[in-house]
């Protein structure tokens, strides 16, 4: 395996990104990703379905957090419409963790990646609020009427 690819995979797995995401982002095989995860964390990765973007942001609090993380992400990854930038996903999520008290954390790194993928596929978008100019996230099939999460 390419040394650089392995290095990127390890970095992502260390941050707790799920093996299925690391497979998509680096092209390493699924068994390899799972083995690396087990090596790094001492436990087998959880398997199971990834959540859909609309199920990640169900409450106002989750919308506020997601809007804020995705605003960071889009600044860090100006080409977010052409592909997910895993480095920017990790950086945006880290800023969110650092800026907010642990008790308020409600969006995980894996969920941040799912939202970044939704932005790329236009399943989600950032809208600028005409009233307060903050950017907020709008997700297809979201459970309540799209509205600014800040106003
Ligand atoms: Zn607003």
Quote the pLDDT of residue 145: 67
Q: How far is the CA of 3 from the centre of ligand 1 (A)?
A: 46
Q: How far is the CA of 4 from the centre of ligand 1 (A)?
A: 43
Q: How far is the CA of 61 from the centre of ligand 1 (A)?
A: 15
Q: Where are the domains of the chain?
A: 3-41, 53-139
Tokens of 150: 């800040």
Q: How far is the CA of 113 from the centre of ligand 1 (A)?
A: 25
Quote the pLDDT of residue 46: 87
Residue 94: partners with Cβ closer than 8 Å, 6 or more residues away: none
Residue 112: partners with Cβ closer than 8 Å, 6 or more residues away: 69, 73, 89, 92, 93, 96
Q: How far is the CA of 147 from the centre of ligand 1 (A)?
A: 8
Tokens of 35: 């083995």
User: Mean pLDDT in runs of 10 for the chain (151 residues)?
Assistant: 91 95 95 96 89 89 92 96 96 96 94 97 93 90 74 81
Quote the pLDDT of residue 51: 86
Tokens of 49: 């379905």
Q: How far is the CA of 126 from the centre of ligand 1 (A)?
A: 12
Tell me the CA distances in angstroms from 25 to 6, 17, 89, 139, one per residue in order. 11, 11, 12, 23
Say whether pTM exceeds 0.85. Answer: yes
Pairwise CA distance, residues 27 & 37, whole Å: 15
């Amino acid at each position: 395996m390419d040394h650089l690819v392995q290095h990127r995979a390890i970095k992502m797995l260390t941050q707790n990104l799920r093996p299925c995401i690391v497979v998509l982002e680096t092209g390493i095989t699924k068994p390899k990703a799972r083995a690396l995860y087990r090596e790094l964390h001492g436990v087998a990765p959880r398997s199971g379905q990834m959540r859909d973007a609309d199920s990640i942001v169900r409450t106002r609090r989750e919308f506020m957090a997601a809007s804020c993380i995705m605003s960071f992400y889009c600044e860090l990854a100006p080409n977010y419409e052409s592909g997910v930038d895993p480095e920017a996903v990790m950086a945006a999520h880290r800023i969110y963790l650092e800026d907010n008290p642990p008790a308020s954390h409600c969006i995980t790194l894996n969920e941040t990646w799912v939202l970044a993928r939704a932005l790329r596929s236009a399943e989600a978008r950032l809208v600028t609020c005409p009233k307060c100019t903050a950017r907020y996230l709008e997700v297809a099939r979201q459970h309540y009427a799209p509205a600014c999460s800040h106003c």
